[in-house]
Amino acid sequence: MIRRCCRRISRSKKCCLRHYEWGDNYLGETWEDAGEQIDGTLLTDRREDWGENLPEEVVLLTCGIDVQDDRFEREFVGWGRDEGCWSLDYQVIYGDPSAPAIWNEREDCLKQTYAHPKGVDLPIRATSIDSGGHYTSAVYGFVKSREARRIFAIKGVGGEGRALVSRPAKNNVGKVRLFPVGVDTAKELLYGRLKIIDPGPGYCHFPEGRDDEYFRQLTGEKIVTKYSQGRARRAWVKTRARNEALDVRVYAIAAFTLLNLNINRVAQRFKNKQAVKPVEPIDEPIMRRPAPRKSSGGFVNSWRGY
């Protein structure tokens, strides 16, 4: 019987697919294809020098934070028309996430602003912090009093077809709004945009000086098709040990999604604003206050106002 199956496989035009089906149906094995992956070295050519200020196209900022056992990793991402995005800053901050001092540093970090060419300073509009690691309670404690500033706790949920961000739940020990994030959906969105080669809608920009390791981490997973029990499903698998840059970008995308706004309308309103011109000093003569008149007549006249 196995020989007959092998002959059928060899005659098939879709030999590879039939091989998966044969192994699945007759041997009970699970198979996966080679997968789709992006070459991170090709993204290094996108590095740009946009100076100290924000690129003029950026109108909104979000942040994604990943909490590891010995460090934080965070990225500030700028957004513009048609969801073009700019990686503004990526940092790895080492320290003990259980210590309050390092969370105070995160507080100061999230309060910083970026100077825009129009003469205004843009703040971080929304932040997503992953709560799925070993420091869930610390994350809950940090976001609880800061949700009004759009600093949210999130938890990644795998699987195809999930919403990028789902309705939050508060049935957790911190009683905070915990937003489930469809990480597979976000990664598929990101990888699709990383394949865009011409600046424009959805294009991803990166700054000059960003190291090569960042790009290796950003593309540190591939999507494969797995065959099990006669069914095919797509899944994301790691191609290297470190891929925090990918996770952090997913969290920044989730923060942008949580804002639930039309970025093109924001960009148009921003475009209509007049640039704020710096106030130049004006040389004016010094106005001297006249000397007070001396009163005469003693106490009575001074009381009368003379």
Q: Which residue has the higher pLDDT, 39 or 24?
A: 39
Per the model's pLDDT, the better-predicted residue between 284 and 197 turns out to be 197
Residues 71-84: tens digit of each pLDDT: 999 999 999 999 99
**Predicted local distance difference test score (pLDDT) of residue 231:** 82
Q: What pTM value is reported for the model?
A: 0.80
> How much is the pLDDT for 121?
94
pLDDT for residue 22 is more than 90: no
As a whole number of Å, the CA-based R_g of the chain is 29
- For residue range 27-81, what is the model confidence (pLDDT) as tens digits? 445 555 667 889 999 999 999 999 888 999 999 999 999 999 999 999 999 999 9
Mind listing the domains of the chain with CATH numbers? Answer: 40-272 (3.30.420.280)
